[in-house]
Chains A and B, each alone.
Chain A
Amino acid sequence: MTAAPVLDVSDLRVRFNTDSGVVPAVNGVSFTLARGETLSLVGESGSGKSVTSLAIMRLTPTAPICEVGGSAILRDADGPPRNLLTLPEAEMREIRGSRVAMIFQEPATSLNPVLTLGEQIAEPIRYHRGTPRATALREAERLLDLVGIPDARRRLSSYPHQLSGGMRQRAMIAIALACEPAVLIADEPTTALDVTVQAQILELLRELQARTGMALLFITHNLGVVAEMADRVIVMYAGRVVEQAPLQTLFRRPLMPYTDGLLRSVPRLSSLHEPLEAIPGNVPDPAHLPSGCSFAPRCEHAEAGRCDTAVPELQSATPDHLVRCVRWHELTRTADGLLATQ
């Protein structure tokens, strides 16, 4: 990409100061997001992927409960580059919902039950652009249409409880898109929906992205969804990036044993009668991370003395393929690209 990335996250660190100690949820995450690109953040729960997105939006609890370090530079069409993490709250409010928007996992509870759909979609337009209410409502109608909600005009005066899960998520997308943001962050938007509805929503997102050229940061734990949506993928584990690659490369030649494990655990039609492969063990408690590589305790390729002494650096296997593993170049591959057990 020759153009500067629209979002440049560098060494993002998020710490929670709880009653039972300090919890490092995100430990130095860096990535870039280009215009029109879909970047997927993949990981299990507890990997820090959601916190990463919340931190970028500055939706994490304020200090002293939560401390955020690093930088997240937004390079928007209109205006100079801005570090989202250090902006004054008033300026950040201007950016939220208009330049960077976010949709969440649970559409059922993410909408205000006592306001109409029209009101909720019109809100960002009214407050970010100063548009009068009537005009904003007309715009809301257009947006409802855009996201594929039939009978848009009547739906303006519907309430969230009158819609299905899929429609609610479409409404959420309409809200997010209201001010034509440069970046849309989607935190597990389809996890709570039926599979068929899921497919519709994903298609809608792809379509809208193609039309508006916005960048999409897609957070999920579902590799199938990743395969459908992403241009590039970042795999997170215990608050760190452990692998980063273009979609095809990651799926065909994963270099990090964790990624390999994730791919193996996806059920395949070709292996119908074989037992499901799960990664043994559990995700480590962020408050008590193992020394050295966080994945080492569960990794079948881990070597004492090398993997458990220091946290591995993020290395470049190729310019666009990063991996955080000391043994990546030593591990053998099987015919279909996955790592063989030693």
Chain B
Amino acid sequence: MAGYLLRRLGQSLILLLLVSVIGFALLHLAPGGPLAQFTLTPGMTQADLQRIAHQMGLDRPLPIQYWEWFRLMLTGDWGRSYRDTQPVLWVIGSHLPATFELMITATLIAILLGTWVGVLGALRRYSVFDYLATVGAMVALSIPTFWFGLVVIYAFSVKLGWLPAGGMYTIGNGSFLDYLHHLIGPAMVLALVTVAIWSRYMRSSMLEVTNQDFVRTAIAKGLPRRVVIVRHALRNALLPMITLAGLQLPTLLGGALVTETVFTWPGMGRLFLDSIGYRDYPVVMGLLMFTALLVLIGNLAADLLYAVYDPRIRLD
């Protein structure tokens, strides 16, 4: 297991480096570059800009600039927001919990529902249920998340009045129940795409596993059906799904952005959009790097989980 983990860690570090290079490149691609905030200030002369550029080290060779930037990032200095001059990391950090809560809830819903649909589809292959589930999944993947969000709001909030139309809390009511009430809508919408993907992969994984010899052995032992399905088949079928969960992170984050917008949920996605609107480049770049880092760490965590869960890797 140590060897496996070390290899994965090494790969992640290489990716981290590449991600940072790409981020740095994007930073300099932004119109006006790092000087953008200053070019807008009235009364700026060319000489002033040049002086500031020199102060910021922008006249030094690119690799050195990169290294400076990278070093600063490592120490937690990701710059300051143009809007309120707060440290970028702090701004991101204050919006992080909301997004996390949304993502985790949506993932839980998606995994539970997706596993159930996928397993059932595999066990009842080619049945009406299976066919509907497969087609349903494909359609679900084709629905724009924000549109689904609007439809949900229209149906459950405007027409039925069951759910609030957005936001995290009702004004004046800060209770946990109120919070949950506000969480259901966006969580459901965010879960849509993940449920679809998860159920399809779950089905295919289950099918593969139930065709394996050890499942036949389990049946030959006369074990109850439920035991064979859960203890033998499902346990093995879930293994590749761990890796899938990690790979789904970028999609989940993107979906969170859109969902937060539609439901005015105060998370990182909303922050990103707002920051773009305000041309707050430090925050925009910071969020871009942050999400990429989340994806990296998430995949690493998924691989770690896999290594722990699969005895063939854990004990070798």
Contacts and interface: CB of A to CB of B under 8 A. Distances in A.
A contacts B directly (C-beta below 8 A)? yes
A332 B181 CA distance: 91
Given A106-B213, A109-B214, A114 B222 contact: no
Nearest to B231: A115
Interface residues of A, number: 29
A298 interface: no
Contacts of B232: 112, 115
A112 B217 CA distance: 9
B214 A111 contact: yes
Interface in B223-247: 223-225, 227, 231-232, 235-236, 239
Interface in A273-304: none
A124 B311 contact: no
B223 A123 contact: yes
B312 to A, nearest CB: 5
Contact of A114 (B216, B219, B227, B235): B235
Contacts of A59: 216, 219-220
Interface in A145-172: 159, 161-162, 172
A141 to B, nearest CB: 18
23 contacts: A57-B220, A93-B222, A93-B223, A96-B222, A101-B220, A101-B221, A104-B216, A106-B213, A109-B212, A112-B214, A114-B235, A114-B236, A114-B311, A123-B227, A127-B221, A127-B224, A159-B312, A161-B311, A161-B312, A161-B316, A162-B315, A172-B217, A175-B217
B214 A113 contact: yes
A97 B222 contact: yes
Interface in B258-316: 309-312, 315-316
B263 to A, nearest CB: 40
A94 B312 contact: no
Interface string A221-252: 00000000000000000000000000000000
Interface residues of B, number: 25
A82 interface: no
Nearest to B238: A114
Given A114-B235, A114-B239, A175-B221, 12 more contacts: A93-B224, A97-B221, A98-B222, A104-B216, A109-B213, A110-B213, A110-B214, A111-B214, A114-B310, A123-B223, A127-B223, A127-B227
Given A112-B232, A114-B236, A159-B315, A128 B213 contact: no
B253 to A, nearest CB: 31
B109 interface: no
Interface of A: 57, 59, 92-98, 101-102, 104, 106, 109-115, 123-124, 127-128, 159, 161-162, 172, 175
A179 to B, nearest CB: 9
Contact of B221 (A96, A113, A162): A96
B210 to A, nearest CB: 12
> Which of B220, B225, B315 neighbours the largest number of chain A CB atoms within 10 Å of its CB?
B220
Contacts of A110: 213-214, 216-217
Q: Majority SS of interface residues in chain B? A: helix
Nearest to B218: A112
Interface string B30-73: 00000000000000000000000000000000000000000000
A97 B239 CA distance: 27
Interface string B128-146: 0000000000000000000
A102 B217 CA distance: 8
A128 B239 CA distance: 29
> Which of B218, B232, B236, B309 neighbours the largest number of chain A CB atoms within 10 Å of its CB?
B218
Contacts of B239: 114
Nearest to A161: B312
Given A112-B214, A113-B214, A96 B311 contact: no
Contacts of B221: 96-97, 101, 123-124, 127, 175
Contacts of B222: 92-98, 124, 127-128
Contacts of A94: 222
Given A104-B217, A114-B311, A124 B236 contact: no
Contacts of A113: 214, 236, 310-312
Contacts of B217: 104, 110-112, 172, 175
Contacts of A93: 222-225
B123 to A, nearest CB: 13
A330 B224 CA distance: 54
A124 B223 contact: yes
A172 B236 CA distance: 19
Nearest to A106: B213
B220 to A, nearest CB: 5
A94 to B, nearest CB: 6
A96 B236 CA distance: 23
Contacts of A128: 222
Contacts of B220: 57, 59, 96-97, 101-102, 104
B159 to A, nearest CB: 47
> Which of B218, B221, B235, B315 neighbours the largest number of chain A CB atoms within 10 Å of its CB?
B221
Contacts of B236: 112-114
